[in-house]
Amino acid sequence: MHSETPLPAELHGQVEELRKEHLLIDVRPREEMNRMVLEAMEDTSREWKWAMAFLGLVTVVTLFGAWAYLMSTGMGLAGIRRPIFWGLFIVSFVFWIGISHAGTFVSAILRVFKAEFRRPFTRAAELMTTFALMGAGLYPLIHLGRTWRFYWMVPYPNQRWLWPNFRSPLVWDFFAINTYLIGSTLYLYLPLIPDLAMARDKSTGWRKKLYTILSLGWRGTEEEWRHLTKAIQIFAWAIIPVMFSVHTIVSWDFAVAMKLGWHSTIFGPYFITGAILSGIAAVGSVLYLVRTTMKNMTYFIRPEHFDTLGKLLLIISMGWTYFFFNEFILEWYGGEHTVKEIIRFYTQGDIAPVWWLMVICNIFIPWAVLWNRNWRRKPWVMFLMGLIVNVGMYAERYVIVTGALSRNRIPFDWGWYQPSLVEISIAFGTFTLFLFMYGMASRLIPLIPVWEVEEGHHAHSLRKVGKTVVPSVADLE
Amino acid sequence: MYGGYQGRYEPKIYVALFDDPEPAARAVEVLREIGIEDRLIQIQSGVPWKPEVLGRPIKASAVPKYGMVGAGVGFLTSIALYFGTPALYPLRVGGFPLFTMPPAFVLIFELTMLGLIVASFLGVLFESLLPPVVGKRVYHPEVSDGAIAVFFQAPAILLDRVKEALQQVGASEIEPVEGSFV
Amino acid sequence: MSREGLTRRDVLKLAGVGGAVAAVLSGCGPMAKYVRRRPYVEQPEYALPGKSVYFATTCRECPAGCGLVVRTVEGRAIKVEGNPNHPLNRGSTCARAQAALQGLYNPDRARGPKVRGGKAITWEEGIDAVARALQDTPPEGIVFLLGLAPDHLAELVYEITQALGAPPPIRFGALAMVEARQTLAAAAEAVFGQKAVPTFDIAKADLVISFGANFLETWLSPVAYAKAYGAMRQGHPGRRGVFVQIEPRMSMTGANADLWLPAKPGTEGLVALALGRLMAEVAGVEAPEPFAQVDPAQVAQAAEVPLEKLEKVARYAVQDVERVVALPGGVVLGYENGVEVAQAILALNGLLERLGKPSLVYFTPPAGGREPLAPATYKELMDLVDRMNAGQVKALFIHGVNPVYEFPKVLGFEEALLKVPLVISFASFDDETVPYAHYHLPDHTFLESWGYQRVQVGADREVLSGFQPVVVPVFDTRATADVLLAAVQKVGGALAEQVPYKNEVEFIQKQVAEFQKRNDGIYQAAHPKVFWALFLQHGGWWTQEATATPAQAQVPTVQVGEAKFDRGELHLVVFPHPILADGASANNPWLQETPDPTTTVMWNTWVEVHPETAAQMGLENDDLVLIDSPYGAIFASVYVYPGIRPDTIAIPMGQGHTALGRWAKNRGANPIDLLGFGVNGAGDAAFGQVRVTVRKMGRRQVLARKENTVGVYGDGRYQPVDKRKEEEEKVTSTQE
Amino acid sequence: MAGEEHTKWVMVIDLDRCTGCNACVTACAMENNVAFAGEEENAYGRGMHWIRLVRYWEGEYPEVQMRTMPMMCQQCSNAPCEPVCPVFATLHSEAEELNIQVYNRCIGTRYCANNCPYIARTFNWFDYEWPEPMNYYLNPDVTVRRRGIMEKCTFCIQRIRRAQEEARLEGRPVRDGEVQPACAQACPTDAIVFGNWQDPHSKVRQLAESQRGFKFLEELGTEPKVIYLSSQRHEF
């Protein structure tokens, strides 16, 4: 099992290389890993405090302040107009929903496929899912003309027996996002319980109290583990279709509409691929931040992880390109005037810079960079790639939402959209909110699932095959 | 009046700590040989070792059943919402019939999944009796450092034998602990 | 609904303003002077809460005199609707009438009498001032400057001036300038033998040949003409009237034409003659004198109009259809030879009659046989300014016109006003003229007023259109007629004997009573009060049957001659804004917000430039330009307009107010300031002879448009790659 | 009986009569308490007009032609705006076969407006003001909309209701031509005709049978209830 076959001394150099490369065979004792994770978690340095205070303040002003101003004055503060009734809010909504696919994809899909490299960063990715969803969930509220009436979308028995319209994609959205938010939060929480118990055992003061409550009295008995691992299995399988449904339904917000440039059957998979693309890219950026700003993280997050993320990113970028091209060529080929104009508007019109930005950021740059193993293994390259791809994905949503709305079947009523300061402020505020929440969470919960890493260690060992050593994997689960 | 005697036979819980699953598995074997039943043994560990590894009885988790029930509840809720509410207040939109199938699947799917997920989570809590409601339960904090803690309930009369046997298979220490298994 | 700001107490307070003149109740409407709001327990039966009460009245947004029915609910005017029985508009209205309620309830209205500088006075003091002016001023020094409406006030003022021995009131306004009514009347005299503005019966026409007349927008009686236009197009089964418009700038009217011919400015008369000659040729008769003098080919070349099109029109008129009418209007009358041009155009009707076509021209019979006072000409206005400058005008009463805004700057009316020792303005709004007035005694708006108007044009019968207040006056205003009559009473003596009316209503009732004798009206009544009630209920009096008879047209001899133009690069067409018209109601926000029909521009002034001209000058949409004429200069934003001659630019009137209210003030530019002194043979303004230069200011001032505002707001980089082609596609895709 | 029977209100717009004068726009605004937004807002495409004249230029100088088409909510039978509303703020009234906008129910998702192929809907971007005493003219039959909600042409349903109530009181069916929306009433050229399709003798029914009749974007399957009669042109 976890015990290693003794290796000949002449292979020690090679072993060192392999250990440097792979976390899961670079075994450190559980105590040490616990200590490292807790040290990183409890590192509430002055810089961190300043950063959080700054991010929190900026969020309060740019997001909540601007939102209050918007609510009290009217939706006219946004740059939307007739006929572009949806603007940056919906763009950001789709964007953050996309980001939220990272955690699920990395964690659930890779777990289902037993991709071992996932282990150290599943939690970092799952946290992104939850916080991105929280950010995304704000937008349907922000963008409502009468936010204070949002609860009319909730099916609750009322005096008039008036219910929401379950045929509306927005109600589907409501249910899908809530299911996904609940599901992904629980999915984040379940594997967290043993680590919280570990933190409970190792901390003092308020943290002890907090973790005592949060760990729910976890002891690690056979029963507990049996139910927990079973539930994680169920979750991993269940959350994947939910994740697909969420972004499909978000794409249906557009695709069901009688709107040229939106009414496309390919939007479901196209949006999902885009979401995973931006999610994976965001994981790369966030992991870089985690690795560079938190203590001891260079041990857990290694170039091999960035390498694998890079490969995934490249593959998904290709997938996205496939769908994008599919959608584009069919519209380009079709003869309808409005569609032709939409294509012209995308590629040559006012929105063309954004459209080309999308193409460059989502196709050209990833394809040019990510084929190279050495670049993939450089964390800062992957950080930049994450940012670039996300800029591209934001541009994609911007083009789809506002670009398609700018052109319709009545040329008299075409329009051109300019985001207003309030909109930009709110969109920016969600980024700071995300960073704030993530920063806070990174100091409150163990960001590395230690027990999973240890589990991985047990599953991996080095074996001598012929004249060399190879890591071997035993199926532990 | 028979306190001393009774004390000698009153079963108490002890813990033995191991670093690896192999000695732990052997310890379980030893305990069984001594005559301590499986139900009087509890193992706590920092990673989910499989029962086969530790030589423990294999049991199925009931969590999937919770999930199924939850999914069923979600399904029925979605049916009630989707097909029930239009009947309560019939409103026509877009030339659609009052009851349409395609959008129904969306709601059915989402609510079924929601039921499944929430119920599975609750299943874990219920089945593992988390969080503890009353009483103190046995625990050893070394577990979170990766140790495998073998708890067993043995009358004091057997303790010496057990200690000896366990030390043979590599237990670092054996000490009594306060609390109950569940 | 929570926007109700008026409390019951306010209403009662307001209700107290109007003195009640009790009269009989005929069961169909209120006979009190004003409908007063009363407590629910003693409310009159017609004013049930929640129940609408409708009052018939007459629109005074322009001089046409369309009948209105105003819906009121609990003492508030809610909606203006057309009077379905009124012979002019038959239930329809234009945009201006619709927005009239925003004039009535305008927060920027004058709220009470005051003296120069804004100090409030009582009405007693105001009436004293008027009385003193009437008493102390030598009669020849008294001048009444009135608006264009041929209403009771004009007649009352006429009586007062007669009694005083003062010169008759001068009626003028910006619309008079561009409509050139006197020119039309002078030409009509030569062709039809009657010096009045003719009405063209386009409803019956198979072919309408209009030379510059914007009869669907503001011209003379736009709703009546629009009504007729609808009937011409689709009113006769199987016979669709066809419409040809000849003008340098495509007006909304021209935009509806089947054929729009942008003849070179100044050649319209020649085109008419050429058309006549071609018609004669088609008919195989010898062309009468004025037509014979032109060579169609030469004219077509000079006018830059395809000869073939003229030939086709001529052939269609003579061979294919039965009823044809030619009408002159708008800018074609605004040349120095405007009268001759108008004669040439009207002569086409004479020619067509000779070719056996029926006449489609008639003169609206004046109600009660009393021809309203003709509006003044531009020349007369210039004379007035001269007299004012010479100090001959001692007291100037201004009502219904806003001379400082509406008269061209070059006339120097403002300076002249300063030389008049006493100026009294009766404007309902604090308009541009008010600061020059020593007394401002605001009149009601028309929806609070009594009165009548003799319809001059557009109706096929005698129409005395009546108006009555539909609501209690909103502010402390008073009817000008009442003020004048009170002053007359105060002066007393011979004047009061000659003008013996106690108040406005009595004067009106006396005039209306004349019609009680008639037995051809839509109603009869033995008792004068019942007749008066019926008059109010119907919104006026008119005859049962159409009485106008087709006018017989002659073919006069006329020398069209050359039109003269000022120096400048481009011809200037100043046209009344299709929505705002002369701009008197520019402070009604919904008029500002109603898009111009052709450009869809709202809330501002634009200058229309042909795309090629714009390209040559490096101008793009929304570029701010300086338009410089020999008489003045204004700034406006460019609208690249596909329907205008390359050598012409056009600017709408109606904006450029420096007062009037929050929605009109400092908005756009007033192109009247570009006009000069030129007059034509009839004394009307030769506003078409102005030429201008256009200078790019290098700055953008974005126009608010209803049309696809791509490029309008913010940057405006948008220019479709192949706009024209796209436009065609649009049309084909929208009209399947 | 009277006023209760199933009605299908239909509007016929004769584009050959329509001159594009915009009187309908103003009339509609005055009847329905439509707010005015001012120059800047209009420049940014935020005019509140319920009805607008869609204008196209056709051809090139001097053969240039203007075409206009009054455009408002087409009261589609299969309205794309309705199913997408999450709270049933816009829905189909079965009695009148009209597309209803329930202002008080609207939460302002603006999805309906995006999904309207006729761009017929306008949104209350702000709370608009009618400065005292201009608010006096506001029609008590029509709700004044506050910020954050969608609005659109209603076919002047308040007038339909009024006519139906009057007819019911008098115990007779609603007469043809008795109901006139503000736009039809104002139209100087009588281009807009309104009536009940169920009445086989109604004027709309007869006009709609014209060969010139077409429905705008009919191919989308929205089944609009505004029937346009195409304009004609005599070619010289």
Question: Following CA atoms A348, A352, A353, A359 in sequence, which dihedral angle do they give, to the nearest 10 degrees?
Answer: -110
Q: How confident is the model at residue C728 (pLDDT cuts 50, 70, 90)?
A: very low
Of C315, C333, C362, the residue that ends a domain is C362
Residue C653: inside a domain, yes or no? yes
Predicted pLDDT at D80: 92
φ, ψ of residue D9 to 5 degrees: the values are -85, 135
CB contact, 8 Å: B48 with chain A?
yes
Lowest mean pLDDT across C524-538, C716-730, D89-103: C716-730
- Please identify among residues 62-81 of chain D the ones whose CB lies closer than 8 Å to any CB of chain C: 62, 64-69
pLDDT in tens, C170-180: 999 888 888 88
Predicted pLDDT at D96: 82
Chain A positions touching D47 (Cβ under 8 A) are: 82
Chain D positions touching A83 (Cβ under 8 A) are: 45, 113-114, 119
Residue A28: inside a domain, yes or no? no
Q: Could you give the percent of chain C with pLDDT greater than 70?
A: 90
Size of interface A-C (CB pairs under 8 A): 37
Q: For residues C390 and C317, state if they share a domain.
A: no
Q: Would you put residue C656 in left (φ > 0), alpha (ψ -120 to 50) or beta?
A: left
Chain D positions touching A415 (Cβ under 8 A) are: 45
When pLDDT is averaged across residues C461-474 and rounded to a whole number, the result is: 91
CB contact, 8 Å: C723 with chain A?
no
Low-confidence ranges of chain A (pLDDT < 50): 1-3, 476-477
- Per-10-residue mean pLDDT, chain D, length 236: 67 94 94 92 90 87 88 93 93 88 92 93 92 90 92 93 91 90 94 92 90 90 92 88
Residues of A with CB under 8 A from a CB of C: 337-338, 341, 344, 348-350, 406, 409-416, 418
Predicted pLDDT at C364: 92
Q: For residues C185 and C290, state if they share a domain.
A: yes
Residue contact D88–B93, C-beta within 8 A: yes
User: How close is the nearest chain D Cα to the Cα of B75, in Å?
Assistant: 21
Helix (H, G, I), strand (E, B) or coil at B11: strand
User: How close is the nearest chain D Cα to the Cα of B96, in Å?
Assistant: 8
Residue contact A170–D220, C-beta within 8 A: no
User: How close is the nearest chain C Cα to the Cα of D82, in Å?
Assistant: 23
Residue contact D61–C252, C-beta within 8 A: no
Lowest mean pLDDT across C38-52, C399-413, C704-718: C704-718
Q: Domain span at residue C661? A: 570-734
- Please identify among residues 191-220 of chain D the ones whose CB lies closer than 8 Å to any CB of chain C: 191, 214, 216, 218
Chain A positions touching B117 (Cβ under 8 A) are: 179, 182-183, 186-187, 234-235, 238-239, 242
Full-model pTM = 0.90
Assess whether pLDDT exceeds 80 at residue B9.
Answer: no
Chain A positions touching D113 (Cβ under 8 A) are: 82-83, 85
Of C362, C389, C415, the residue that ends a domain is C362
Cα(first)–Cα(last) distance of chain D, in Å? 54
Task: Give the containing element (helix H, strand E) for C696.
Answer: strand C691-700
Q: Which residue from A minimizes the CA distance to D79?
A: A258
Residue C490: inside a domain, yes or no? no
Helix (H, G, I), strand (E, B) or coil at C606: strand
- Please identify among residues 25-44 of chain D the ones whose CB lies closer than 8 Å to any CB of chain C: 25-27, 29-31, 36-40, 42-44
Domain count, chain C: 3
Q: Pick from D80, D81, D92: which is nearest to B92 by CB?
A: D92
Predicted pLDDT at B7: 54
Q: Pick from C1, C223, C591: which is nearest to D188 by CB?
A: C223
Q: For residues C326 and C419, state if they share a domain.
A: no
Q: Mutual orientation of helices A421-442 and A88-99 as an angle, nearest 10°?
A: 20
Chain A positions touching B100 (Cβ under 8 A) are: 167
Domain count, chain A: 1
Residue contact A416–C713, C-beta within 8 A: yes
Cα C436–chain centre separation? 25
Assess whether pLDDT exceeds 70 at residue B3.
Answer: no
Residue A466: inside a domain, yes or no? no
Question: Is CATH 3.30.70.20 correct for D9-229?
Answer: yes
Which of D111, D219, D222, D226 to probe the A interface (max A CBs under 10 A)? D111
Assess whether pLDDT exceeds 90 at residue C38.
Answer: no
Q: What is the 3-state secondary structure (H, E, C) of chain D?
A: CCCCCCCCEEEEEECCCCCCCCHHHHHHHHHCCCCCCCHHHHHCCCCCCCCEEEEEEECCCCCCEEEEEEECCCCCCCCCHHHHCCCCCEEEECCCCEEEECHHHCCCCCHHHHCCCCCCCEECCCCCCCCCCHHHHCCCCCCCCCCCCEECCCCCHHHHHHHHHHHHHHCCCCCCCCCCCHHHHHCCCCCEEEEECCCCCCHHHHHHCCCCEECCCHHHCCCCCEEEECCCCCCC
Q: Do chains B and D touch (3 or more CB pairs under 8 A)?
A: yes
What is the CB neighbour count within 10 angstroms for residue C54? Answer: 18
Residue C233: inside a domain, yes or no? yes
Q: Pick from A155, A220, A249: which is nearest to B46 by CB?
A: A220
- Please identify among residues 72-131 of chain B the ones whose CB lies closer than 8 Å to any CB of chain D: 91-96
**ipTM, interface predicted TM-score of the complex:** 0.88
Residue contact D223–B95, C-beta within 8 A: yes
Size of interface A-D (CB pairs under 8 A): 135
Chain C positions touching D216 (Cβ under 8 A) are: 734
Q: Cα A40–A46–A47 angle (5° rounding)?
A: 80
Predicted pLDDT at C715: 32
Predicted pLDDT at C709: 56
Q: For residues C385 and C401, state if they share a domain.
A: yes
User: How close is the nearest chain C Cα to the Cα of A82, in Å?
Assistant: 10
pLDDT in tens, C574-617: 999 999 988 999 999 999 999 999 999 999 999 999 989 999 99
Q: Mutual orientation of helices A303-333 and A337-347 as an angle, nearest 10°?
A: 140
CB contact, 8 Å: A263 with chain D?
no
Task: Write down the number of H helices and E strands in chain C.
Answer: 24, 26
CB contact, 8 Å: A169 with chain D?
yes
CATH of the domain at C207: 3.40.228.10
CATH of the domain at C690: 2.40.40.20
The structural domains of chain B, with segments of one domain joined by +, span 3-58+134-176, 63-128
Predicted pLDDT at B66: 95
Chain D positions touching B93 (Cβ under 8 A) are: 79, 82-83, 85, 88, 90-92
Predicted pLDDT at C131: 94
Residues in chain D, total: 236
Q: Cα B131–B132–B133 angle (5° rounding)?
A: 110
Q: Pick from A144, A256, A258: which is nearest to D117 by CB?
A: A258
Q: Pick from A161, A223, A455: which is nearest to B47 by CB?
A: A455
Predicted pLDDT at C85: 93
Assess whether pLDDT exceeds 80 at residue C4.
Answer: no
DSSP strand pairing (D213-214 vs C623-629): unpaired
Residue C99: inside a domain, yes or no? no
Q: Pick from B21, B22, B123: which is nearest to A231 by CB?
A: B123
Q: CA-CA distance, C545 to C542, in Å (whole number)?
A: 9
Sheet holding C142-146, edge to edge: C114-115, C439-440, C422-425, C395-399, C142-146, C170-171
Which of A161, A196, A222 to probe the B interface (max B CBs under 10 A)? A222
The structural domains of chain D, with segments of one domain joined by +, span 9-229
When pLDDT is averaged across residues C489-503 and rounded to a whole number, the result is: 90
Q: Half-sphere exposure of C43 toward its Cβ, with a 13 Å CA cutoff?
A: 18
Q: CA-CA distance, C15 to C36, in Å (whole number)?
A: 5
Q: Report the candidate in D156, D151, D148, D73 with the shortest Cα–Cα distance to residue D116.
A: D73
Residue C84: inside a domain, yes or no? no
Residue A146: inside a domain, yes or no? yes
B3-58+134-176 CATH, one of 3.20.20.80, 3.30.70.2750, 3.40.1350.10, 3.40.50.920: 3.30.70.2750
Q: Do chains B and A touch (3 or more CB pairs under 8 A)?
A: yes
Encoded tokens for A370: 């990510």
Q: CA-CA distance, C327 to C346, in Å (whole number)?
A: 6
Predicted pLDDT at C588: 93
When pLDDT is averaged across residues C94-116 and rounded to a whole number, the result is: 93
Lowest mean pLDDT across A454-468, C73-87, C453-467, C651-665: A454-468
pLDDT in tens, B102-119: 999 999 999 999 999 999
Predicted pLDDT at C50: 76
User: How close is the nearest chain D Cα to the Cα of A340, in Å?
Assistant: 17
Predicted pLDDT at C389: 94
Q: Domain span at residue A441? A: 49-154+178-445
Residue A334: inside a domain, yes or no? yes
When pLDDT is averaged across residues B152-157 and rounded to a whole number, the result is: 85
When pLDDT is averaged across residues B124-149 and rounded to a whole number, the result is: 86
Q: Pick from D41, D118, D123: which is nearest to A145 by CB?
A: D123
Chain A positions touching B130 (Cβ under 8 A) are: 193, 216-218, 224
CB contact, 8 Å: D77 with chain B?
yes
User: How close is the nearest chain B Cα to the Cα of A228, in Å?
Assistant: 6
Question: Which chains border D (3 or more CB–CB pairs < 8 Å)?
Answer: A, B, C
Peptide bond into A471 cis (omega under 30): no
Residue contact D85–A83, C-beta within 8 A: no
Question: Which chains border A (3 or more CB–CB pairs < 8 Å)?
Answer: B, C, D
Q: For residues C188 and C286, state if they share a domain.
A: yes
Q: How confident is the model at residue C733 (pLDDT cuts 50, 70, 90)?
A: very low
What is the CB neighbour count within 10 angstroms for residue A126? Answer: 26
